Structure 1
Amino acid sequence: MNYTEEQLRAALAEHITPGSPDVQQIVRQGQRMKRRRRARLTLGSLAAAATALLGVQGVWVSTAQVAQRPPTTAPVPAAPSLPPEDTRAVPPAPLIASQSSATVPDRKTVKFRPLSFFTSYTIVCADPDAWVVIRSWGGSGTVSRCGRRGVSGSERKESVPSGWLQHTQQIEVWVLPADAPILEPRRGAGSDPYATCAVARKDAGWCDGKYWKVALIRQPGVLEKLVEETRSRPGAWAAAVYDRADATIPDPLPTVTRTVTVNPSG
């Protein structure tokens, strides 16, 4: 609201002593009143703008905080349940030791005390195409896809090391993702599997960007190098050992999964 000079004179006349009024003083005082009012209006507008800005900023911060939250992780499929016993043994052999993992690549060592010369094992995976590398108690090993029914194997009296029943034994199991760079044997390669490689490193078991299956078992450090280069990800799997004092295994043992086996002698 604006005030006229007459209104200002009337308002000020109530507070001054009788006599000739100082018109210049009245005008200056009126101008000061106008400036103070404009200043109050300006501060009020700034406060309202700041409140609105803070409200918008608060929404933006909340949105940023939501954006920074990690995305919801899809549930990881659980590995199939381990069989409670090995029905291939006569009589069926119960589970005596097991290990499990929720990631690939990963390694687990299953330690156990043998009860017979026919100890068996089974590895099951959530992804049937996952790679399974087994370093068994006899020093030999296998490399294969896990398969829907898992990877299984057993020993014979003739294949176990001496002192088999007197000492704690172990089986080392590695499981790698399905897309791990592992090279299948090539047909027609002859005695030298590297003959068909465009780029090869025999010392690393490496051919054209992948690692030979047999090199994972035959050449020390190759499997570890492959695992080091493979990105870790969710992938459930489990390994179990079965045995009983009176167990026997039928011969021939039913084939469960096709594997590539390498003996210690190569």
Structure 2
Amino acid sequence: MDEVTMLAQAIPDVPPPSAETVARARARLAARQAPARRPRTRWGWTAGAAVATTVVVMTVVMLVSNLVGVSEPAPPPAASPAFEQAPRVYKGLDRLAGARMSQSATKVSLRFRPTSKKITVVIFCQMPGSIFFSTEGGSGAGGMCGPDGALSMLADKAYEPGWLGRDHKITFWVFPPDAPVARGRSSCPPKGACERKYDLSSAKTADRLAAKLGKRLGAWSVAAYDVPAAPTVSSAD
């Protein structure tokens, strides 16, 4: 078995070295071992040749390894944008629950149980200037959102008695920036111009607007954040 065949078995993923590279390695080895080569028998010559061949292969392997080098580890995958997946941590608060939608003019409900008055609900929208509306029971709150996130004021109810320590279900809608939404009385000129716009003050109105628009471009996500949960300490009996 020659050096090139042994090399192919030793490092199958690397192309075999050229004849010139093998010749240089063999000549370098011969120069180092020239004084010690004095075979007396056929068996001794065969064993010496086998050893020399192995050493040549190892030398060439080292040369090829130095040329090929060690591959760099693959970089970790980039984190998904917040509008595709709400981050696990937001301003030092842990995510309690999250949901996401791949299109706008859609709605989703978020269920969570707050544990502190620091509870925060954040909406992340792919399209800056998107319009959101959130409601729970008879309360509603809206605003504009973008990739950096916007807060739903419904979380401010944590300061009201009885809001903490129980389960909540808040429903959210997100609409594209150009959706026909009335933004307060000042945005509606006289002569009934606002009749063609939607006043987002109830879940029923938000559903009607979503049905009129149909699903539009613009991914978005929403998440509830609260203080990190305290570690559980158990005592041994």
Q: TM-score, normalised on structure 1? A: 0.48
1: CA distance, partners of 2:128 / 2:106: 16
Count the aligned residue pairs: 148
Q: Report SS of the residue matched to 2:116.
A: coil
After superposition, residues 145-224 of structure 1 pair within 5 angstroms as 145-153=144-152, 154-155=155-156, 157-159=158-160, 162=162, 164-165=164-165, 167-187=166-186, 196-199=189-192, 207-212=194-199, 216-217=200-201, 219=202, 221-224=204-207
- Which of 206, 211, 214 aligns to 1:228? It is 211
Gaps of 5+ in 2: 1-80, 231-237
How far is the alpha carbon of 1:80 from its aligned partner? 5.7
Partner residue of 2:100? 100
Cα shift at 1:180: 1.1
TM-superposed CA distance for 1:157, in Å, is 4.2
Question: How large is the RMSD of aligned CA atoms in angstroms?
Answer: 2.9
TM-score, normalising length: structure 2: 0.53
Within the alignment, does 1:82 sit opposite 2:107 as a pair?
A: no
Alpha-carbon distance between aligned partners in 1 of 2:139 and 2:104, rounded to the nearest angstrom: 22
CA distance in 2, matches of 1:221, 1:171: 14
Find the structure with the greater CA-based Rg: 1
Contact 1:115 1:243 in 2 (8 A): yes
Instruction: Show structure 1 runs of 4+ deviating over 3 A.
Output: none
> Could you tell me which amino acid in structure 2 is paired with residue 82 of structure 1?
A
Q: Distance between the aligned counterparts of 2:157 and 2:183, measured in 1?
A: 28
Contact in 1 for aligned 2:119/2:158 (Cα 8 Å) = no
In the aligned structure 2, how far is the partner of 1:148 from the partner of 1:78? 7
Rounded Cα–Cα distance in structure 1 between residues aligned with 2:203 and 2:121: 24
Higher-helix-fraction structure? 2
Alignment correspondent of 1:53? none
Shift of 1:78: 8.0
Listed as ranges, the gaps of 5+ residues in structure 1 are 1-76, 201-206, 248-266
SS at match of 1:182: coil
- Percent of residue pairs bearing the same amino acid type: 27
Offset of residue 220 of structure 1: 5.6
